[in-house]
DNA sequence: TATGAATGAGTGTTCATTCAT
DNA sequence: AATGAATGAACACTCATTCAT
């Protein structure tokens, strides 16, 4: 009745102003309108915080449609999450890391991960929410599992090639590496709010972002590269 | 005034036995009971998801007491969060890193961070929640800022000593290092739910935990240590 | 003061048969049912004393509908109040005082005001409540201001005509007159409870009411009429 | 997460700083402190709106004392109200109207009533509240009844003397006159908030107040004075 | 006499979801 | 396919009042 955001409407509804009757009648459009609005709201406020009414309003559809197409708020969240994961996995595949030299491929992956998080802030917020809910929704999706398997294989292959080329050291677990690559970008971004207070700096400043990316690339390259063991190296049992 | 007797509850009624009323009448105890229950609930379900009634019940206090002592759910959350941060900062100080050789000190810090996260799972969940809320609550606390400054100084000092000893390379930003140390542990643990699905392994398995800690120590040590620059190193401008 | 009426169900209805759900599904009907119930409850108990639950029950609608249509208890009160004022202002216009001789018109107005207060006891109670709240709700309504202006004009015109006819004395402020006409009726009725105790008589007795109306008409006619100034008249400076 | 508490007092309960410990230990002082605070709060917010905590705080006494001395919020209200009525009745007696000529005495009474309302704004607000509650509290007080009887007698005597002196007309009911004298002042003041909006003027402006007092004196004097009946007088049956 | 701690029953308000068309 | 109306079960928060000392 009140408080609705006045300038929402945005997006692709250049049809009839005043919300009018000739609704889309195109179920595909309706569904994707809902998904876009839901992604934005779930990212902003989490599963519990997002409001079905607000999502319907932002999507310019009747609230009932959400239930028609998705069954429940929770199933809608699940769908949003699945799409978000499929998107990043698909983008990773497009990197075609197999066609790059190992070191370049690895740096490309670190850069891509960082850039993707930066450009798709909803993604990390959705993942955060999902982990607060102990991945209860992701569990259902087999498509995600398959896509992830392909992704791990890609990194494993990259590492193997690097070892064969003599530039990477042996024995690195591709899953641990993946986790670390994600962690050093993801944590910086999700925890930038508390970080700003704790470390008294602006995490989103252009220079700060550049500096962090360089630091992360450095961290990962040093982690994998094969090199003369210096005296007192922790790898050295002596 | 009358009608009371219909559902009389006074004195020593035989029900609600199980709620184990301590009826403390000691405000210090009451406050800390509330804080403990709140910490657990906020960690479990986040600020929005936690229920004031449940907190009161778990603390065995009347709900009204929460408002008496903390003013609102949100201020209660803020207090819980502040205490949680002060706890970890205080534990870090007790490590007395200044009395250890730099490399030992750094490894100790990585281990401690990991162990603390593992043993205080509420901490990372609280921090996660707070970041979902853009650190709106932490912002108020000056005690946190002061404690954090001391912490950063400690790490800076550690790095400086390492450089002086010739074991660490120069120019490492203690804040970036701190973030990375936190990230590689924190992310592994908070995202273990989605991780379990994506990577199809049990993140909390004893061996998995040990392996991750070793991996993290390795990552950090390689990141800071001074060593001969191998050919093709990205640091090398040539 | 609180918790008193547990099973209160509104007015003097004999419990209106288990809530008799009309399930109107007609928003206009629903809204006016809510307004009617709210008017009655706000009049009975004031803004603070009225209970949203009771209003919903009396209106046979779900409590949620009140928030759907009116936003908040306070906005509902505001709407009720606005409607009440518009009602009396509209009834006054229907008196068509301009078509009556001035003295008749004035007496008609006094009678009407009295009768309206008597027949619409909610009105004066609502106005009383609103004044307890310093007219914070009425302030918003421009429709009320416009209607009031028309009303004052009507009385001013009436006085002017009386002066022109030589029956009313000159210089009477129509606003002061209005206030007095309202006051002598309104005060008698709103303060009849304390009055009954102070003056030990039944203010609502048929004869008492008639007597008061006559007294009020007399007061107003004497106040306005032009007449030979008797010796020692206060108007007389001597 | 909504509805911020209005009387929140900041931090944890480190209040009662300035509230000092050397409590009075003088029951008379304590009681009158409570009464003064209660009068102010009940006048401001009504019986339902006033808060026992706030009253205790304003009185600088422990909340428990209110119950100790007055039994309940409602009985406290009753006491406040009774005192307020006794105060005005006692002030009226001090006017010694019996020693003034009838016309002067009447004008004095009108002036006094007006001034008293103006200088004791709590009085009219308390009376208003009590009438919202149908005088349920005043009912108990016999002292009020006695004082009122004396007051009515005073006015009756005044009228009788005026009739005897030939300056007042016969047959005026002292109670009706009292009600009117009160009404034209009281209504103006209690309804000044809605009045300000309806009539678009500042009711509390110095000039407006003076003008109203003159208007009221005029109204009352014209109402009572004996004078030649003009043609067409409504009293005239012809 | 005086007090801080504690409480039960409510208050306004919200929300995901279903009904009737 | 689409919609406006309607709902029940919470939820955060409040308040007059009593307990224990």
pLDDT average, residue stretch A101-105: 97
pTM of the complete model? 0.83
Q: What are the angstrom distances between the C-alpha of D58 and each of B69, D20, D64, D123?
A: 21, 13, 14, 19
Chains A and C touch (3+ CB pairs under 8 A): yes
| C1' of F18 to CA of C7 (Å) | 25
Which secondary structure element, helix H or strand E, spans residue A160, and what is its range?
helix A142-165
Print the domain residue range for C39: 25-71
Residues of D in contact with C216 (CB under 8 A): 180
**A203 and A86 belong to one structural domain:** yes
The answer to whether position C211 is within a domain reads yes
Nearest-CA residue relative to C1' of E9: C3
**D195 and D124 belong to one structural domain:** yes
**A67 and A83 belong to one structural domain:** no
**D40 and D135 belong to one structural domain:** no
Instruction: Determine the Cα–Cα distance for residues D111 and D216; give it in Å rounded to an integer.
Output: 9
Instruction: Determine the Cα–Cα distance for residues C175 and D203; give it in Å rounded to an integer.
Output: 11
Of C124, C183, C109, the C-alpha closest to D180 is C183
Closest nucleotide over all strands to D67 (CA to C1'): F17
Looking from the CA of B155 toward its CB, the CA atoms found within 13 Å total 26
The answer to whether position B6 is within a domain reads no
The answer to whether position B185 is within a domain reads yes
> Reduced to 3 states, what is the DSSP secondary structure of residue A224?
helix
**Protein-covered nucleotides on strand E (Cβ within 7 A):** 1-21
Instruction: Determine whether the distance from the CB of A25 to the nearest atom of strand F is below 7 Å.
Output: yes
Residue D53 belongs to domain with CATH number: 1.10.10.60
| Residue B177 to chain A, least CA–CA distance (Å) | 9
Nearest CB among B67, B68, B73 relative to D1 is that of B73
Q: What is the pLDDT along chain B (238 residues), one digit of tens a residue?
A: 222 222 223 333 333 333 444 456 788 999 999 999 999 999 999 999 999 999 999 999 999 999 999 999 999 999 999 999 999 999 999 999 999 999 999 999 999 999 999 999 999 999 999 999 999 999 989 999 999 999 999 999 999 999 999 999 999 999 999 999 999 999 999 999 999 999 999 999 999 999 999 999 999 999 999 976 544 444 444 4
Q: What are the tens digits of pLDDT across the range D119-173?
A: 999 999 999 999 989 999 999 888 999 999 999 999 999 999 999 999 999 999 9
Closest nucleotide over all strands to A63 (CA to C1'): F3
Instruction: Determine the Cα–Cα distance for residues B213 and A234; give it in Å rounded to an integer.
Output: 13
The answer to whether position C16 is within a domain reads no
**B141 and B177 belong to one structural domain:** yes
Of B227, B165, B179, the C-alpha closest to A225 is B227
pLDDT at residue C203 greater than cutoff 90? yes
| Residue C3 to chain D, least CA–CA distance (Å) | 13
The answer to whether position A18 is within a domain reads no
> CB distance C68–A2 less than 8 Å?
no
**A95 and A44 belong to one structural domain:** no
Q: What angle do CA B145, B147, B148 make, to 5 degrees?
A: 65
Helix, strand, coil content of chain B in percent (nearest 5): 70, 0, 30
**C88 and C197 belong to one structural domain:** yes
Which secondary structure element, helix H or strand E, spans residue A213, and what is its range?
helix A206-224
pLDDT at residue A227 greater than cutoff 90? no
**D63 and D111 belong to one structural domain:** no
Q: What are the tens digits of pLDDT across the range A150-169?
A: 999 999 999 999 999 999 99
pLDDT at residue C147 greater than cutoff 60? yes
Among D80, D86, D139, D197, most C C-beta atoms within 10 A, so best to mutate, is D197
With beta carbons less than 8 A apart as the criterion, state whether C80 and C68 touch: no
The answer to whether position A132 is within a domain reads yes
Question: What is the number of helices (H) and of strands (E) in chain D?
Answer: 10, 0
| C1' of F6 to CA of C33 (Å) | 14
Give the DSSP letter of residue B7.
Answer: G
| Burial letters C36-59, b for 16+ CB under 10 A, else e | bbbbbbbbbbbbbbbeeebbbbbb
The answer to whether position D16 is within a domain reads no
Residue A134 belongs to domain with CATH number: 1.10.357.10
Q: Which single residue is written with the structure tokens 């339902």?
A: D48
The answer to whether position B19 is within a domain reads no
Which residues 50-109 of chain A have a CB under 7 Å from nucleic chain F? 61-65, 68
Give the DSSP letter of residue C60.
Answer: T
Taking chain D (238 residues) in consecutive chunks of 10 residues, what is each chunk's mean pLDDT?
32 35 67 95 93 93 93 96 96 94 98 98 95 92 93 97 97 98 98 97 98 98 81 46
Residue C206 is encoded by which pair of tokens?
């048929």
Last residue of a domain, one of B71, B87, B108: B71
pLDDT at residue A229 greater than cutoff 60? no
| Chains contacting C (3+ CB pairs below 8 angstroms) | A, D
What is the count of structural domains for chain C?
2
């Amino acid at each position: 009745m009140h408080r609705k955001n006045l300038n929402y409407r945005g997006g692709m509804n250049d049809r009839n102003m005043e919300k009018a009757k000739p609704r889309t009648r195109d179920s595909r459009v309706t569904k994707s309108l809902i998904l876009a609005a839901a992604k934005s709201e779930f990212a902003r406020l989490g599963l519990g915080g997002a409001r079905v009414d607000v999502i319907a309003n932002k999507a310019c559809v009747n609230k009932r449609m959400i239930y028609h197409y998705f069954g429940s708020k929770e199933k809608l969240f699940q769908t949003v999450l699945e799409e978000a994961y499929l998107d990043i996995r698909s983008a990773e595949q497009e990197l075609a890391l197999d066609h790059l030299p190992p070191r370049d491929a690895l740096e490309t992956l670190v850069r891509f991960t960082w850039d993707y998080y930066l450009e798709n802030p909803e993604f990390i917020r959705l993942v955060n929410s999902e982990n607060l809910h102990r991945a209860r929704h992701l569990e259902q999706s087999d498509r995600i599992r398959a896509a992830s398997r392909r992704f791990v294989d890609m990194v494993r292959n990259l590492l193997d090639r690097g070892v064969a080329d003599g530039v990477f050291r042996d024995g690195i677990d591709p899953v641990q590496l993946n986790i670390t690559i994600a962690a050093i970008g993801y944590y910086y971004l999700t925890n930038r709010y508390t970080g700003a207070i704790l470390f008294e700096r602006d995490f989103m400043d252009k220079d700060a972002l550049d500096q962090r990316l360089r630091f992360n690339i450095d961290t990962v390259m040093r982690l994998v590269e094969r090199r003369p063991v210096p005296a007192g190296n922790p790898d050295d049992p002596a």
